[in-house]
């Protein structure tokens, strides 16, 4: 699986200086004496007295979903390709600061038999014009992380639903802004976490729902991916992703591992994240890469990094269960998201390959079974040959996540993932930074549902 970072907008030298300056000010605020990490976390919570709506939001059904796409670099182009395969999904407008990227997406749209979309290429804020002027149902963004919240907010305030690549936000303020805006304007705001749609993760969810693993007590997820080449590239994510390592230290990218585990453990739907503790190793990997791969006169050799190479976090839920989360992208290693779900009757683990399961009384001894032995628990959505043969989308999960979003909008159904999932899973970014900065002190996780998690039903098994 290739990396999931968004692309489609660049970080200029001035942007980089502003980004680092804001990071320094934020760090100063967190480090002020007399303020505990728990109290600091709660400062991100707005004064909303009432709980979230009683029922999951569903918009009126629509025959055609008219889409404006913002950020069509690598991941954005992948989504455009997937959307063009889905009945009822029409690409109407495309926005990117790189005109060649926008034209490429437009050409793909025409090749698929749709009218040429209107292009918005006047600069970093041209998405605001797209959201204000175009007659759209959905605005989808695959830009660098700092633009996810501004694009989604612009979409919703202009009457459009919003979908964003991951994470939805890397600040608590941004998480609350997405929740507040979605509730105020009654619009969907969906974080497109494709790993929730991977075959093994969905099979695991089906096993959990069928009770095969018993009571789920513990989960583990990760984003372990050697991204050193990507971060030092002179195009794509290399233009912006490395800058985060210069001023942040925590888990920058929690949702790939955390999302599927959260679904199995009913987060926001029967349970919620209560608090976390986080710690990071020293920062070594990017410095070694500088020294060993960059020429002596390369200006990037002057950069300094504070991001610990391996961040480990433990989350305690309101019901007392535990979740272990890892971020590891600066060192040599094979890819892994771990995906471990453990209950009173068995355990499921995806990595190292192949995925495997142990069920008490049914698996021999203390060994593992390959998933083929349990193929009767294949998730219904993965029984479709169309999904299993999908190309160019991380083995089918990208097609499936886009397909499900369009299907829910066309049928007027609540989306599989919602704004509360986006906020809770993404909030781990800033919360881990705060815990690391306070010697791994416990940090409370805000309840974005304001108590509604106690009554919302768990995600069911969606039929194909």
Q: Kindly report, residue by residue over 321-368, the tens digit of the pLDDT.
A: 999 999 999 999 999 999 999 999 999 999 999 999 999 999 999 999
Instruction: Say which residue the tokens 């433990």 belong to.
Output: 314
In degrees to the nearest 10, what's the CA dihedral of 307, 312, 318, 320? Answer: -170
Would the pLDDT of 27 be above 50?
A: no
Report domain extents, the chain: 196-380+419-454
Distance, in Å, from the CA atom of 375 to the CA atom of 59, rounded to the nearest integer, reads 35
Return the CATH superfamily for domain 196-380+419-454. Dihydrodipicolinate Reductase; domain 2 (3.30.360.10)
The confidence score (pLDDT) of residue 22 equals 47
Measuring CA to CA, how many Å separate 236 from each of 11, 166, 357, 368, 372? Answer: 10, 16, 38, 41, 38
The confidence score (pLDDT) of residue 319 equals 98
Task: Indicate the average pLDDT of the chain.
Answer: 92
In order, the DSSP letters of 59-103 are PPP-SSEEEEEE--SHHHHHHHHHHTTSTTEEEEEEE-SSHHHHH
* Cis upstream peptide for 331 (omega within 30°): no
Would the pLDDT of 435 be above 60?
A: yes
The confidence score (pLDDT) of residue 44 equals 55
Specify burial of residue 5 (Cβ count, 10 A radius: 0-12, 13-18, 19+).
buried
Mean pLDDT across 294-304: 97
Distance of CA 378 to the CA centre of its chain: 24
The confidence score (pLDDT) of residue 5 equals 43
Is the Cβ–Cβ distance between 358 and 374 less than 8 Å? no
User: In the chain, what is the straight-line distance between the N-terminal and C-terminal CA atoms, in Å?
Assistant: 24
Per-residue pLDDT band for 390 (boundaries 50, 70, 90) equals: confident
Per-residue pLDDT band for 395 (boundaries 50, 70, 90) equals: confident
- Tokens matching residue 223: 């984003």
The confidence score (pLDDT) of residue 32 equals 34
Query: Residue 142 contacts by C-beta under 8 Å, 6 or more apart in sequence?
Result: 6, 7, 8, 69, 70, 71, 72, 73, 75, 76, 79, 164, 165
Answer yes or no: pTM beyond 0.85. yes
Would the pLDDT of 31 be above 50?
A: no
The confidence score (pLDDT) of residue 3 equals 40
Per-residue pLDDT band for 46 (boundaries 50, 70, 90) equals: low
Mean pLDDT across 429-447: 98
Bridge partner list, 359 = 346
Distance, in Å, from the CA atom of 269 to the CA atom of 209, rounded to the nearest integer, reads 13
Per-residue pLDDT band for 194 (boundaries 50, 70, 90) equals: very high
Would the pLDDT of 146 be above 70?
A: yes
In this structure, the number of other CB atoms found within 10 A of the CB of residue 336 comes to 18
Distance, in Å, from the CA atom of 164 to the CA atom of 148, rounded to the nearest integer, reads 6
Cα 28-30-34 angle, rounded to 5 deg: 105
Distance, in Å, from the CA atom of 174 to the CA atom of 194, rounded to the nearest integer, reads 21
The confidence score (pLDDT) of residue 326 equals 99
The confidence score (pLDDT) of residue 111 equals 98
Q: What is the arrangement of strands in the sheet containing 65-70, beginning at the earlier edge strand? A: 118-120, 89-95, 65-70, 138-141, 161-164, 189-191
């Amino acid at each position: 699986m290739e990396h999931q970072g968004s692309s489609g907008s660049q970080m200029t030298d001035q942007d980089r200086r502003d980004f680092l300056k804001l990071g320094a000010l934020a760090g100063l605020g967190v480090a002020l004496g007399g303020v505990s990490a728990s109290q600091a976390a709660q400062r991100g919570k707005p004064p909303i007295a009432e709980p979230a709506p009683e029922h999951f939001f569903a918009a009126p059904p629509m025959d055609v979903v008219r889409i404006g796409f913002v950020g069509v670099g690598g991941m954005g182009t992948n989504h455009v390709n997937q959307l063009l395969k889905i009945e009822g999904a029409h690409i109407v407008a495309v926005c990117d600061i790189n005109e060649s990227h926008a034209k490429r997406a437009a050409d793909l749209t025409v090749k698929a038999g749709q009218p040429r979309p209107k292009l918005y290429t006047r600069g970093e804020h041209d998405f605001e014009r797209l959201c204000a002027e175009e007659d759209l149902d959905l605005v989808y963004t695959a830009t660098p992380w700092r633009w996810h919240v501004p694009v989604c907010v612009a979409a919703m305030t202009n009457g459009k639903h919003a979908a964003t690549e991951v994470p939805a936000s890397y600040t608590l303020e941004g998480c609350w802004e997405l929740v507040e805006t979605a509730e105020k304007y009654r619009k969907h705001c969906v974080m497109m976490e494709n790993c929730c749609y991977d075959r093994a993760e969905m099979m695991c969810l089906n096993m959990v729902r069928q009770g095969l693993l018993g009571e789920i007590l513990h989960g583990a997820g990760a984003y372990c991916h050697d991204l050193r080449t990507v971060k030092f590239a002179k195009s794509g994510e290399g233009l912006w992703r490395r800058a985060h390592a210069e001023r942040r230290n925590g888990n920058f990218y929690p949702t790939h591992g955390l999302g599927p585990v959260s679904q199995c453990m009913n987060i926001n739907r029967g349970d919620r994240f209560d608090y976390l503790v986080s710690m990071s190793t020293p920062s070594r990997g990017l410095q070694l890469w500088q020294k060993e791969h960059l020429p002596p006169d390369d200006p990037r050799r002057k950069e300094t990094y504070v991001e610990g190479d391996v961040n480990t976090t433990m989350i305690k839920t309101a019901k007392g269960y535990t979740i272990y989360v890892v971020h590891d992208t600066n060192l040599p290693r094979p890819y892994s998201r771990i995906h471990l779900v453990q209950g009173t009757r068995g355990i499921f683990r995806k990595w190292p390959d192949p995925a495997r399961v142990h069920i008490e009384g049914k698996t021999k001894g203390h060994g593992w079974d390959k998933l083929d032995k349990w193929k009767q628990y294949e998730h219904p959505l993965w029984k479709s040959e169309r999904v299993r043969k999908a190309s160019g989308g991380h083995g089918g999960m990208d097609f499936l996540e886009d397909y499900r979003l369009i299907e829910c909008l066309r049928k007027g159904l609540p989306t599989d993932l919602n704004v509360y999932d986006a906020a809770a899973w993404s909030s781990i970014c800033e919360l881990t930074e705060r815990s690391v900065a306070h010697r791994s002190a416990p940090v409370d996780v805000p309840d974005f549902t304001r108590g509604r998690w106690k009554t919302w039903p768990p995600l069911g098994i969606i039929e194909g």
